[in-house]
Amino acid sequence: MASLPAGKGFSSAGLLSLFFFCVVVAGFSASGVGEVRAGETPKEIAVDAKGCVARVSDARTGKLYAEAPAHVGSRLFFGWIHSLEKIPWNEYYHVDEQRNLVLDTITFPAFGAGIPADKGRVCRVRDGLIHMEEIEQIFPELVWLNSQTATRDIVLDGKLLVRGADMPHHARVRLIVLPDVDQAKEGTK
**pLDDT band with cut points at 50, 70 and 90 for residue 7:** very low
Top pLDDT among 130 and 15 is at 130
Top pLDDT among 115 and 40 is at 115
Work out the mean pLDDT of the chain and round it to a whole number.
Answer: 76
**pLDDT tens per residue, range 66-79:** 999 999 999 999 99
C-alpha neighbours within 13 Å on the C-beta side of residue 114:
8
**pLDDT tens per residue, range 134-182:** 999 999 999 999 999 999 999 999 999 999 999 999 999 999 999 986 6
Strands ordered across the beta sheet of 52-58: 64-70, 52-58, 172-179, 142-145
Cβ atoms within 10 Å of 130's Cβ, excluding its own: 20
What per-residue confidence (pLDDT) applies to 50? 62
Cβ atoms within 10 Å of 95's Cβ, excluding its own: 25
One-letter amino acid for residue 101 of the chain: L
What per-residue confidence (pLDDT) applies to 58? 97
For 21, phi then psi, to 5°, come to -60, -45
What per-residue confidence (pLDDT) applies to 151? 93
**pLDDT tens per residue, range 89-109:** 999 999 999 999 999 999 999
DSSP, collapsed to helix, strand or coil, labels residue 160 as strand
